[in-house]
Every structure is written in structure tokens, then in C-alpha cells.
């Protein structure tokens, strides 16, 4: 085998090895994103609302990291103040890509399945400007 063929084969082998390594790195990054979503199994829409007295029986303010859960998932019984979801914490991620923690303090009767109403402060952190009105979110109970 002449020297040129040897160098060509060696270069080809090196190139193929580099491609396999790159593919493994991409696969690993994708798996990391999927496992993150496993912690936040619900995908819905976030809106914002003016906080105040909530269905959990407490007063909250717009600068708190609080949410109102859609009525179906809140499962309000005869006395919503004793709801097991009240005062529980969720984790939520939106357009910002960051994960935030918020407390459940209210019910959102007009929210669709897997959707939440966020306090203005939380909405700005998760979605950006209040002027947007809504954004897509992933969230889950902690």
C-alpha cells in the first residue's frame, strides 16, 4: 500500500470517528431535555391574573410566586379551602427556559386542561412581558 492510500484511509477513519462522537453528544443533549420534561409532565398555556383572595382561603399579592390551577386539575370539593392541592408547590418552565417554583393558592375556572393562571411577577419570569397575554408552559407538581 502506498503512502498516499494509507494517509487517505487514516483520514477517512478519523473523520468517521469524529462523526460518531458528535452524534453521541447530540443524543445525550436530547435525552437530558426529555428527562427534564418527565419532571414537568403537563404542557399547557399560562395567562396572568390579578391576585387577591383565592379559593384556598388566603390572600396573595401580585409580587408573590403563586398560581391558580385549572378547575379540572384543582379538583375542588365541597370546601375548596381544604383542597389537598392548596399550598403545594409546582415547578414551571416557559419561554425563558428557566425552571421556577410557585405555590398553588387559587382555582382558574376559565383555564383549559393543563393550563395555569400566574401572578404577574411569576408570568414575567416565565413568559416575559405581561403584554404578551399568554405563553406555552410545562409544569408539574413537586
Q: Work out the percent of the chain whose per-residue pLDDT is above 70.
A: 75
Tell me, yes or no, whether 48 and 76 share the same domain.
yes
Mean pLDDT of the chain: 83
Burial class for 30, CB neighbours closer than 10 Å (0-12, 13-18, 19+)? exposed
Q: Is the pTM of this model over 0.75?
A: no
Answer yes or no: is pLDDT of 66 > 90: yes
Tell me, yes or no, whether 31 and 60 share the same domain.
no
Q: Work out the percent of the chain whose per-residue pLDDT is above 90.
A: 60
Tell me, yes or no, whether 59 and 113 share the same domain.
yes
Tell me, yes or no, whether 128 and 63 share the same domain.
yes
CATH of the domain at 60: 2.40.40.10
Tell me, yes or no, whether 63 and 121 share the same domain.
yes
User: In terms of residue numbers, what domain contains 127?
Assistant: 41-141
Number of domains in the chain: 2
Strand duo 99-108 + 66-70: pairing: parallel
Amino acid at each position: 500500500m502506498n503512502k498516499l492510500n494509507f494517509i487517505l484511509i487514516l483520514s477517512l477513519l478519523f473523520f468517521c470517528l469524529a462523526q460518531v462522537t458528535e452524534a453521541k453528544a447530540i443524543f445525550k443533549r436530547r435525552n437530558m431535555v426529555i428527562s427534564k420534561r418527565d419532571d414537568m409532565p403537563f404542557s399547557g398555556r399560562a395567562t396572568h391574573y390579578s391576585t387577591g383572595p383565592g379559593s384556598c382561603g388566603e390572600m396573595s399579592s401580585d409580587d408573590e410566586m403563586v398560581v391558580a390551577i385549572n378547575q379540572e386539575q384543582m379538583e375542588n370539593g365541597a370546601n375548596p379551602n381544604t383542597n389537598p392541592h392548596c399550598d403545594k408547590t409546582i415547578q414551571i418552565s416557559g419561554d425563558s427556559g428557566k425552571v421556577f417554583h410557585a405555590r398553588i393558592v387559587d382555582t382558574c375556572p376559565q383555564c383549559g386542561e393543563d393550563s395555569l393562571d400566574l401572578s404577574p411577577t411569576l408570568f414575567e419570569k416565565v413568559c416575559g412581558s405581561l403584554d404578551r397575554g399568554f405563553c406555552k408552559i410545562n409544569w408539574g407538581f413537586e
